[in-house]
Amino acid sequence: AELNDFDKNVLKMITDGEDSNAIAKALNTNIEDIAKSMAKLMKWEVITKGETTDLGKQLVKEEVCQRSTCSIHRGRLCKKIMA
């Protein structure tokens, strides 16, 4: 599994305070696809309760960590992204 461009866009828009309907409209997709992306982002602990976590904010800031191990999240998410 990986954090693709669609998921990154959803994460960035959540970080910017957009709701699911606004995100779906902006990305020209449906609410179901946004819900699936948000479920993936919650599983990876980059969002929680509709808010971006510190890890999520770091990912938005850096796009996505390219290192196999990362001091920010001790490699956990990096390994999932790169797997």
Q: Which of 71, 72, 67, 22 is nearest to 81 (CA)?
A: 67
Predicted confidence band at 2 (pLDDT cuts at 50, 70, 90)?
A: low
Looking at residue 63, what is its pLDDT? 54
pTM of the predicted model as reported, rounded to 2 decimal places: 0.70
Coil, helix or strand for 48? strand
3-state class (DSSP) for residue 29: coil
How does residue 10 score in pLDDT terms, banded at 50, 70 and 90? very high
Q: Any idea what the Cα angle at residue 51 is, between residues 50 and 55, rounded to 5°? A: 130
Helix (H, G, I), strand (E, B) or coil at 22: helix
Give CA 65 to chain center in angstroms: 12
pLDDT in tens, 14-57: 998 999 999 999 999 999 999 999 999 999 999 998 888 888 88
> 15 by DSSP, 3-state: which?
helix
